[in-house]
Amino acid sequence: MRIVSCFVLGLLLLSPAAAWACADVEPAPAVKECVDEAPAQTAKEHYALGFEAAEERDYEAALQAFKKAYAACPHFAILYNLGQAQIALNRPREAIAALSRYLQEGQEQIPPERIPVVKEQMHGRFPDAPHK
């Protein structure tokens, strides 16, 4: 299922060598570590749980794990995963909010070819939802 493979595009905390693809877009560069190792490790653990939950199509559990990962080490790339979980849960406002923040906070760090894909997810999937 495409939504599951999309979860990894935004964040490659587990393995910088991972090569997941969604709609022919290259994966994002590996996320920079937090200043302290403990929050980075916590974020990696929660991200791993979120990814496992997403693979099992337990998107609510994935969402909660990604929220914990972002709280431990707030990196823009995790916002992409939050947005994907919200899309899977059919929560347009929350998905658009997370993906908008992803685009805003990531800016030039986001590969240029990914930006239209994210915008299409926001505007194409939820045309009637309010967009920021």
**pTM (2 decimals)?**
0.72
The separation between CA 88 and the C-alpha centre of its own chain, rounded to angstroms, equals: 12
Does 11 score more than 80 pLDDT?
Answer: no
H helices of the chain, in order, are 2-6, 37-55, 59-72, 76-88, 92-106, 115-125
Chain mean pLDDT for the chain: 77
Task: Find the mean pLDDT for residues 84-99.
Answer: 95
pLDDT above 90 as % of the chain: 61
Per-residue pLDDT band at 125 (split at 50, 70, 90): confident
Looking at residue 36, its pLDDT comes to 67
The tens digit of pLDDT for each residue in 22-68 reads 323 333 333 444 656 788 889 999 999 999 999 999 999 999 999 99
Looking at residue 39, its pLDDT comes to 85
Looking at residue 34, its pLDDT comes to 62
Looking at residue 21, its pLDDT comes to 26
Q: Give the C-alpha separation, 18 to 7, whole Å.
A: 12
As a residue count, the chain comes to 132
Does 15 score more than 80 pLDDT?
Answer: no
Looking at residue 49, its pLDDT comes to 96
Residue 82 has, within 13 A of its CA and on its CB side, a CA count of 25
